[in-house]
Structure 1
Amino acid sequence: MAFDALTTATAGLRVTQSQIGVVSQNIANVGTVGYVRRTLTPVTTGPGNAGVASGTIARAIDAAALKQLRSETSGAAYTSTLAGIRGQLDALYGRPGDGSALDGMFNGFTQSLQSLAANPTSTAARTTVVSAASGLATTIATAANGVQSLRSGLEAQLASDTNDANTLLGQLAKLNARLGATPKTDASRPDLEDQRDQALNSLAGLMDINTVTLTDGSVSVLTGSGATLVDHGNAATLSFSSRGTLSAQALYSDDPSQSGVGTIMATLPGGGKIDLIASGAIRSGSIAAAVELRDTVLPQAQRQLDDLAAGLARSMSDRPATGTAPADGTKNALDIDLTGLTSGNAVTLTVQDGGVQRNLILIPFSGTPPASVPAGLTDDSEATVIPFQLPGSGNGAPATLQEALSQALGGGYAVSAAPGGAAGAVRIAGTGSASLLAASASVTQVDSATDIKSGKTQIPLFVDGKAATLFTGSFEGGSQLTGFAQRISINPSVAGNAASLVGITGSGTSTGDATRPQALYEALTGTPRTFSSASGIGGIDAPTTSSVAEFVQGVISVQGSAAAAAQDLDQGQGIALSTAQGRFASTSGVSIDEEMSNLIALQQAFTANARVLTAARDMLDTLMRI
């Protein structure tokens, strides 16, 4: 009897000592990141289960809580990155209403035109217009350069994140191999599992992942879309083809040879390769947010600034042309004055065929036109784009504008000179099933950037780049619109001759005439212009019509609203992450109060076993003395 009690008490002491060691380890690691609370449950042994022995040290893991934690970690990294860049983008435009902000600079420019119209003989007023125009151009260019700086920063972040993900995948493969070779009863196994879960949590911050626990304790790691990244001891290798500093022309393409930005290629454990960006394999985490910002959000912001710069320049130098119903009552026809049409001055026809409304965009070229022009570079990304050669512009050029338009439109339409109209006025009539609903164009009225005394109210106040090229929206050698916001500047010919802002040589007016500054003011604030669907200002995937002044407010409003929405989303996701962390900590985290309570109970159990051992010893001593 005494021997049984001695054996049981001794085993109890060993088990209790092991449990105290586990509890002490929990307390010592209460602040250690990634540490999961350990438990040790004794097991019965011996005949009739009368004995006791130490069991396996296990981690207190709630698999469902851990899965939710990783999901919310990916979401939080995504929204945090999105909100951070959205906020920086909004800051590029300045605080609305401030004199140095985009809207403040624009308002200052329009007010200077008003002041000049009220006092056209004032040298100071002319100088103020030049200064305000230069400041506005600089503000637009600075914002556009800031957009590209953000894109370049995201390109660098993607390279860094890809490298970090690659490192984590390698660590996971090594931990899988060690876990597979470590017996489940080994005391070091929980530490390996903690390291594995910590690596998985870090990876979840970079991209959304799913995990499958295998029978040997290792895990398979898959992207949210199902691509396997880690299988047992094998890991995918990720590489990023960084393009360094990005420009407005550096845009994403599914074809790596055509893409102007980097992509993430994964060589999978099975040997296959996959483009993780093109396949949409990464849907959350900081990588997904960086890709969305670099390839969608910021290019749209660039397009808004390009559209603004183009609208600003062409409001000064162009005449809006709108199709009107023929005075002689001809049905399904529109008359439009295209006098002065030059390269890039696109003509938009709105037609309806079979109940479907669509746009035909005819783009003139001064030389041989390309086979096609991407619709995304025009005002309407869903339009049918038709390039054509202007008359008198090279070999094979049509003799007249009517002939050029007729060749471009082909069957179904007839183009002729508009009766009684100007030399460049044409009549476009539908001869097929399509109904003509509208026709419009923005026709440049000056011949060059140095044509500042054309005898018309238009003047090339804003030009393209240091070479001071006239902006017409040309597609010769590529889209002149793309990146124009970075290149816009005040025309040095006007800056050097501010009197041209009021003097219209050849019209019989004097330098004291307010016609030109008043017309320029009205062109900015009252004349509707078409802005591209790619800018997203209209709220739908279609071109929007507004004055330049209204477009400026639209840009600021859209970016401000988007930044606020991103911040709200991030705050909401932060709450979701905190909830998931709390749920996980409630089952897997270390609670000092709970561990101290366990320690007291184990100390009492240790004392009880010690007393049993003492009593058994005394009993044996008594027996030995008999």
Structure 2
Amino acid sequence: MSLNSIINIANSGLMTAQAQIRVSSDNVANVNTPGYVRKVADQVSMNTGGVGSGVEIGRVRLATDRFLQAASLQADADAARQGVRYELYDRIQSLFGDPGGDSGFFSRIDGLFSAFAASAEDAGSTPLRSDALQRAQSLFDESARIAGQIQSVREDADSRIKTAVEQGNMLLSQIEALNVEIARATINGGDATGTLGAQTQLIDQLSSLMDINVAQRPQGGVSIRTGTGVMLAGAGHATLEYTRAGSVNGETAFADVFVTEPGGQKRSLTDNLISGEIKGLLELRDVEAPAAAERLGELMARVADELNRAHNQNSSVPAPTTLAGRNMGQGFEAAVAGFQGTTTIAVTNAAGAIQTRAEVVFSGGTMTVNGVAADPATFLATLNAQLGGQATASFTDGRLSITATGSNGVAIADDPADPARKNDKGFSHWFGLNDMIASGRPATYDTGLTPASPHGFGAGETITFRLGAEGGGRMRDIGFAVPAGGSMADLVTALNNPATGLGRYGTFSLDAQGALSFAGSGSPPATLSVLDDTTVQAQSGVSMTELFGLGGGVRASRADDFSIRTDIRSNPGRLALAQLNLGAAPGSSALSSGDGRGARLLADAATTTVSFDGTSSSAGASMSLSRYASDLSGDIGARASAAKTRADAAGALSQEARARQSAYEGVNLDEELVLLTTYQQAFNASARLIQAASEMYDTLLGMT
């Protein structure tokens, strides 16, 4: 071996040792830099003609492990998903207050019925009446506040989705730009470790927004896909797109998050996410928060309905001049059909004495008024004739009203032995003639309509449905036009048509109480919501969505629409706490101001068994109002606790995955000290070899 070869070999060792020392020095300098991945210089031997000719640095790379990196990215995405779900659901739980405290929402329900129980002991007490009314209004005001705050949480989630989408676009753009730099450095044999480190940190940030899979490209850099395979970066970068809703309420239909892949294909990102912050925000906004609002709406609708049930069995003293019913969402003939039993409509004077009465008997599809036969089409005319001009009944815009003449009043009482009933509601309750709690639209959806009943909507009017997946993602939007046939049977058949309706995704059915429901097909079944509804029922002016409570949105929004009837709120004396005595002697009072039996009925409404409709998060059940409120309280608490447990577990898993990755990829000072010592010794050995070769040159030159 020539002296020149020896010197070249020693020089390569010298240069390689210097490069190794420089790499180790960089590692030591960044020992406390968050997210820093240590560098590794791969040392390889050089050969010339099959003979060793020294060493060199093949490449400087980051000490990454793709399996540990993949585990960390997945754990980070799940931690972000579960963390944001817990953060926002905990806000929803806090809205209801302490379930065991005196000021919490659920304690107000108990306080309301206790106040009515107190009124039963002294029915004539104005302060007790006022207290009961104040508690009732406070309960409904609080439910409206909570419902509004739940929508605020959804709005916050929606805003954060928009921010996350913008951040995702920025990260994808930067990652792709670094891909270009890394590929250029790789081709030119340069050191791309600094750029790789910066790209790794960007990828970590992206993984908190969505679940991603990262693969190394042969030319350098990375390609990134979602967990379901949507291309995000690698050959250009994808563009995310989201348009925020202008305002958020229970019936808001949100737009999808879209992604346009580098190749130009646009698709829904909402359906292609498994975890990450965006996924968690979507689940909270579209599933968990609406479910809480829907159950709150169901509770408050039943509280209002049971209070109205009791109030409609009573009368104020003196009786009100006018009994004005609620909007039935149907024509009078359909509304009055289907009753069984007996009710009495009485006109009383200022002293409470009955001036005239009309006994209405419903039996087997027939009806009589004071023994005079009638049918749904002639009922109002027959009733007015039997009232003898003392009062007049009319039906306008979906509402039945009965108005007494002069200073007289109107009171209604069902027969104790054979009360008039339709869908388990008395005559006055069914029409809402003496409701205590008012609502601007239908709050319960047992319409009483039969397959033969006219639905009342105009042919060609449209409604747009959205079929959703279990996690809230959109499956498909379907437009539906009201058919030419005017019966409920025609409407249900058209809705179930696979070609022009929703028959491919589920089944609509009309039950014995006239409730129209949708059961999604598939596993898990599709969910139904309404995007747009232009239908208007001719008799009442309500839409199909409002009449039947189609989708969870309209059901959830009920909680913010209840209030004490205006005249009762302004005058507690209008509160109906007495019961009409149909057996009172002629000329004597049939109403007593000291009668507190009606207040007892209002107090007992808390323990009456009620049929609750199923919601998106709970099955239908029969239980008392107090029991349902307790179940709702427990359910919200349990869901918040479960969300916290999931968030803690996901966070711990993320920390463990990061710790293992850091143990492999991070800087170990002891290890780097050993390497520095080794490379210094290698440097010294190479230097001594050069010195020895130089001395040999000098000796050989001195011999000539």
Smaller-chain TM-score bracket: 0.7 to 0.9
Report the CA distance between 1:247 and its aligned residue. 1.1
In structure 1, C-alpha distance between the alignment counterparts of 2:77 and 2:54, rounded to whole Å: 48
1:34 aligned to 2:35? yes
1:591 aligned to 2:668? yes
1:513 to 588, 595, 619: 595
Equivalence map 1:491-510=2 (5 Å): 491-501=565-575, 503-504=577-578, 506-507=580-581, 508-510=590-592
Do the aligned partners of residues 214 and 246 (structure 1) sit closer, same or farther apart at CA in structure 2, a change above 3 Å counting?
same
1:106 aligned to 2:190? no
**Unaligned 5+ residue runs, structure 2?**
314-337, 342-363, 365-418, 432-440, 468-481, 494-510, 516-539, 582-589
2:629 to 522, 536, 552: 552
1:215 to 218, 235, 255: 218
2:677 to 600, 609, 619: 600
2:288 to 274, 294, 297: 297
Please name the residue that 2:78 is paired with. 75
In structure 1, C-alpha distance between the alignment counterparts of 2:250 and 2:596, rounded to whole Å: 38
Do the aligned partners of residues 323 and 62 (structure 1) sit closer, same or farther apart at CA in structure 2, a change above 3 Å counting?
farther
Cα deviation digits, residues 379-400 of structure 1 (max 9, x gap): xxxxxxxxx9xxxxxxx99xxx
2:303 to 307, 312, 329: 312
Report the CA distance between 1:188 and its aligned residue. 3.1
Query: What's the TM-score once normalised by structure 1's chain length?
Result: 0.73
Cα deviation digits, residues 564-584 of structure 1 (max 9, x gap): 001101111112111211221
Report the CA distance between 1:552 and its aligned residue. 1.2
Asked whether the equivalents of residues 248 and 299 of structure 1 are also in contact (C-alpha less than 8 Å), the reply is yes
Asked whether the equivalents of residues 173 and 231 of structure 1 are also in contact (C-alpha less than 8 Å), the reply is yes
In structure 2, C-alpha distance between the alignment counterparts of 1:94 and 1:532, rounded to whole Å: 25
Asked whether the equivalents of residues 537 and 558 of structure 1 are also in contact (C-alpha less than 8 Å), the reply is no
Report the CA distance between 1:189 and its aligned residue. 1.4
Please name the residue that 1:286 is paired with. 277
Cα deviation digits, residues 483-516 of structure 1 (max 9, x gap): 1212322333222222333543754342322211
1:244 to 225, 246, 252: 246
In structure 2, C-alpha distance between the alignment counterparts of 1:58 and 1:521, rounded to whole Å: 76
In structure 2, C-alpha distance between the alignment counterparts of 1:603 and 1:336, rounded to whole Å: 102
Cα deviation digits, residues 264-283 of structure 1 (max 9, x gap): 12222222211222xx1112
- Residue 264 of structure 2 aligns with an amino acid whose one-letter code is G
Equivalence map 1:47-446=2 (5 Å): 47=48, 48-183=51-186, 186-232=189-235, 234-250=236-252, 260-277=253-270, 280-318=271-309, 337-338=421-422, 339-340=427-428, 341-342=430-431, 344=442, 346-347=445-446, 368=457
1:564 to 634, 641, 645: 641
- Residue 534 of structure 1 aligns with an amino acid whose one-letter code is T
In structure 1, C-alpha distance between the alignment counterparts of 2:178 and 2:134, rounded to whole Å: 65
**RMSD (CA atoms):** 3.9
2:604 to 490, 498, 522: 522
In structure 2, C-alpha distance between the alignment counterparts of 1:477 and 1:409, rounded to whole Å: 12
1:536 to 613, 617, 630: 617
Please name the residue that 1:490 is paired with. 564
Do the aligned partners of residues 536 and 482 (structure 1) sit closer, same or farther apart at CA in structure 2, a change above 3 Å counting?
closer
In structure 1, C-alpha distance between the alignment counterparts of 2:628 and 2:452, rounded to whole Å: 24
In structure 2, C-alpha distance between the alignment counterparts of 1:550 and 1:591, rounded to whole Å: 60
Cα deviation digits, residues 53-111 of structure 1 (max 9, x gap): 23311211111111111111111111111111111111111111112211111121122
How many percent of aligned residue pairs carry the same amino acid? 26
Asked whether the equivalents of residues 117 and 603 of structure 2 are also in contact (C-alpha less than 8 Å), the reply is yes
Do the aligned partners of residues 169 and 373 (structure 1) sit closer, same or farther apart at CA in structure 2, a change above 3 Å counting?
closer
Asked whether the equivalents of residues 347 and 362 of structure 1 are also in contact (C-alpha less than 8 Å), the reply is no
Do the aligned partners of residues 293 and 116 (structure 1) sit closer, same or farther apart at CA in structure 2, a change above 3 Å counting?
same
**Number of matched residues?**
515
Query: What's the TM-score once normalised by structure 2's chain length?
Result: 0.66
- Residue 275 of structure 1 aligns with an amino acid whose one-letter code is S
Please name the residue that 2:11 is paired with. 10
- Residue 219 of structure 2 aligns with an amino acid whose one-letter code is D
Do the aligned partners of residues 362 and 577 (structure 1) sit closer, same or farther apart at CA in structure 2, a change above 3 Å counting?
farther
- Residue 163 of structure 1 aligns with an amino acid whose one-letter code is E
SS in 1 for 2:594: coil
Cα deviation digits, residues 295-330 of structure 1 (max 9, x gap): 1111111111211221111111137999999xxxx9
* Worse-matched range after superposition: 21-30 or 596-605: 596-605
Report the CA distance between 1:224 and its aligned residue. 1.6
Please name the residue that 1:609 is paired with. 686
